[in-house]
């Protein structure tokens, strides 16, 4: 998709389609009014006839109006003006995109940044427009023999119109950011949607190597199981014992900042398929356990966005990746392993494997002397029960870091919700036979999982994002969402302007 921003009157646009908003009940946006005035009331007459009243979800495609240059005009219902918020804006953009793509408009000029969204400026609306358009157009058909049937004349170019020329500079920057974040989300979704027999630990390692080979700012190293054995990563390696696929520890280093600048470290859980191991999961919906590497995929996505923007910052991505499968060599409930930092762990449930690979990766992150460490993981189903699909669970040992992430989530609509990390919860992780158990019982499962990880981050400014509820959708809309790439990319962008 090609994008541009411009300013100019809608009635003067020579384009296949001009897109304008209409609020309930039949209140035209400024751009719609301009088209109506130029056409001597053509839109007003259509609205009075009752063809459209502006309710959310409505669209009406019109032919060329008198005294205007666009071939067609698409009216998009925006609902009640007082209720027009960020979510309504994104839905209206997505609806317009689908209509344009399905009706042969290969180019369109979009007059939505003029619409008032409380607390949001033009730059936000430009960036949100790009992300919403790309989300609406996303398809994953890489594994289909013939692919999905594509529109005969798909949408290829969108011009986003801003009200004033003085807004062009900031809007062009917002456009670049939106394109980069959308590219990062797409990469994350593509990796997440691949099946486990394709997207193996070795495949992820190859993708990281390829990403680095195309850039002068990114380097990549892949640690093999023998390397991890020498480092004492007994916790991580305990998970891969039941798999024929060798575990990998992928380390990507982006150096865009000053040489002495401490990096941000992102650690992404990369379990490419999680059967639960000996503590076998129920069969229903087990196919969705290919999404247990979405934390790793989100690290790829952020790296893609940062590379595209060539941000002046240092960023490290660490991805511990393995399968979790049962066989005769697999770890058993009751086994005790030793983590890289010397902590002994009693494995009471082999399905609580994410924390076992993350803890060694978090210890490994110390060698980069990071400014902060953020891990991203589809860690606990309990988080999805607590927060649903709307918010990512956030834990942190540093309130300032937590607030940065919360603010980034609010700005991008990729929201997180802070959960408690109180020492009282650690009592649930006590073991009679080892330093710590890998589960803490049924109560507060999301919290005790984070408490387990916190034992390996005492020396760091650390945050944990549990994306078990937000990384993918089930049902008819099954597929990876690309979250929390917008949140994390905004967090990095905010650090660049400090």
* Residue 369 within any structural domain of the chain: yes
- Given the residues 27, 255, 281, 410, the one annotated as active site: 281
Which CATH number does the domain housing residue 11 bear? 3.40.220.10
Tokens of 245: 């696929």
* Cα 246 to Cα 248: distance, rounded to the nearest angstrom: 7
Shared domain for 110 and 207, answered yes or no, is no
Kindly state whether residues 127 and 214 are assigned to the same domain.
no
Same domain for 158 and 241, yes or no, is: no
DSSP characters for 221-250? EEE-HHHHHHHT-HHHHHHHTT-SSPPEEE
Could you tell me if residue 174 is inside a domain? no
pTM: 0.97
Q: Is residue 175 part of a domain?
A: no
Q: Are residues 351 and 215 in the same domain?
A: yes
* Beta-strand pair 372-377/462-466: parallel
**pLDDT at residue 145 in the model:** 87
Q: Structure tokens of 212?
A: 């680095």
Instruction: Decide if 125 is catalytic.
Output: no
Pairing of strands 479-480, 472-473: antiparallel
Backbone angles phi, psi at 49, to 5 degrees: -70, -15
Which of 104, 136, 163 is a domain's end point? 163
Which domain-ending residue is among 130, 163, 196?
163
Do 459 and 404 lie in one domain? The reply is yes
| Residue that is last in its domain, among 112, 133, 163 | 163
Assess contact for 196 and 240: CB atoms under 8 A.
no
Q: What is the CA radius of gyration of the chain?
A: 25
Q: What is the pLDDT of residues 171-189, one digit of tens each?
A: 999 999 999 999 999 999 9
Contact (CB, 8 A) for 376 and 268: yes
CA distance 181 to 482: 10
Q: What are the beta bridge partners of residue 338? A: 344
Residue 448 domain boundaries: 182-496
Q: Is residue 168 part of a domain?
A: no
Q: Are residues 133 and 189 in the same domain?
A: no
User: Is residue 196 in some structural domain?
Assistant: yes
Question: How many angstroms separate the CA atoms of 438 and 54, rounded?
Answer: 54
Cα three-residue angle 34-40-41, rounded to 5 degrees: 80
Q: How many domains does the chain have?
A: 2
Tokens of 138: 């996303």
Active-site position among 127, 189, 241, 355: 355
Low-confidence residues in the chain, pLDDT < 50 = none
The pLDDT value given to residue 4: 98
Q: Which residue has the tokens 């005492």?
A: 458
Amino acid 357: pLDDT = 98
Cα 222 to Cα 209: distance, rounded to the nearest angstrom: 8
Tens of pLDDT, residue by residue over 241-270, are: 999 999 999 999 999 999 999 999 999 999
DSSP state of 169: H
Terminal-residue alpha carbon distance, the chain: 32
Separation of alpha carbons 235 and 456, rounded Å: 12
Helix (H) or strand (E) holding 18: strand 17-24
Which candidate, 357, 346, 339, 212, places its Cα nearest to that of 272? 357
Q: Is 171 a domain residue?
A: no
| Residues whose CB is less than 8 angstroms from the CB of residue 34 and which lie 6 or more positions away in sequence, other chains included | 9, 10, 11
278 shares a domain with 136: no
169 in a structural domain? no
Active site residue 355: yes
Do residues 207 and 64 both lie within one domain?
A: no
In a domain, 172, yes or no: no
Q: Are residues 391 and 263 in the same domain?
A: yes
Cα 401 to Cα 55, 418, 436, 486, 494: the distances in Å are 41, 11, 27, 17, 12
Q: Do 117 and 190 belong together in one domain? A: no
Are 117 and 222 within one domain?
Answer: no
CATH number at residue 473: 3.40.630.10
Q: Where do the H-state alpha helices sit in 194-350?
A: 201-213, 225-231, 234-240, 294-309
Do 258 and 120 reside in the same domain of the chain? no
């Amino acid at each position: 998709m090609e994008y541009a921003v411009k300013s100019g009157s809608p009635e003067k646009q020579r384009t296949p389609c001009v897109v304008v908003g209409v609020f309930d009940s039949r209140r035209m946006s400024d751009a719609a009014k301009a088209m109506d005035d130029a056409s001597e009331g053509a839109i007003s007459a259509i609205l009075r006839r009752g063809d459209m009243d502006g309710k959310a979800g409505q669209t009406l495609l019109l032919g060329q109006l008198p005294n205007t240059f666009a071939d067609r005009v698409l009216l998009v219902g925006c609902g009640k003006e007082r209720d027009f918020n960020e979510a309504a804006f994104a839905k209206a953009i997505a609806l317009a995109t689908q209509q344009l793509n399905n009706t042969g408009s290969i180019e369109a000029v979009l007059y939505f940044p003029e619409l008032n969204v409380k607390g949001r400026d033009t730059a936000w609306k430009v960036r949100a427009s790009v992300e919403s358009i790309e989300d609406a157009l996303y398809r994953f058909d890489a594994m289909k023999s013939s692919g999905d049937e594509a529109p005969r004349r798909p949408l290829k170019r969108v011009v986003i119109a801003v009200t004033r020329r003085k807004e062009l500079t900031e809007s062009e920057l917002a456009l670049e950011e939106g394109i980069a974040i959308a590219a990062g989300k797409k990469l994350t979704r593509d990796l997440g949607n691949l099946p486990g027999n394709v997207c193996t630990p070795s495949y992820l390692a190859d993708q990281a190597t390829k990403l680095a080979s195309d850039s002068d700012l990114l380097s990549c190293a892949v640690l093999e199981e023998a390397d991890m054995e020498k480092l004492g990563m007994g916790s991580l390696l305990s998970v891969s014992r039941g798999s024929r696929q060798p575990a990998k520890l992928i380390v990507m280093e982006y150096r865009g900042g000053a040489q002495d600048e401490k990096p941000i470290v992102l650690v992404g859980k990369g379990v490419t398929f999680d059967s639960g191991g000996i503590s076998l999961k129920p069969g229903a919906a087990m196919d969705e356990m290919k999404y247990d590497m979405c934390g790793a995929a989100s690290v790829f996505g952020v790296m893609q966005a940062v590379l595209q923007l060539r941000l002046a910052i240092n960023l490290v991505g660490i991805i511990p990746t393995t399968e979790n499968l049962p066989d005769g060599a697999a770890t058993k409930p009751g086994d005790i392993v030793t983590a890289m930092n010397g902590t002994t762990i009693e494995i009471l449930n082999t399905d609580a494997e994410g924390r076992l690979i993350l803890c060694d990766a978090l210890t490994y992150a110390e060698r980069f002397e990071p400014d902060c460490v953020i891990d991203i993981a589809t860690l606990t189903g309990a988080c999805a029960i607590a927060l649903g699909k709307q918010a990512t669970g956030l834990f942190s040992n540093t309130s300032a870091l937590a607030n940065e992430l919360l603010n980034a989530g609010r700005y991008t609509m990729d929201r997180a919700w802070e959960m408690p990390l109180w020492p009282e919860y650690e009592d649930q992780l006590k073991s009679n036979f080892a330093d710590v158990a890998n589960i803490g019982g049924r109560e507060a499962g999301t919290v005790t999982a984070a408490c387990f990880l916190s034992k390996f981050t005492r020396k760091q400014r650390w945050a944990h994002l549990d994306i078990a509820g937000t990384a993918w959708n089930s049902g008819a809309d099954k597929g990876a969402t690309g979250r929390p790439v917008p949140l994390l990319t905004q967090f990095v962008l905010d650090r660049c302007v400090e």
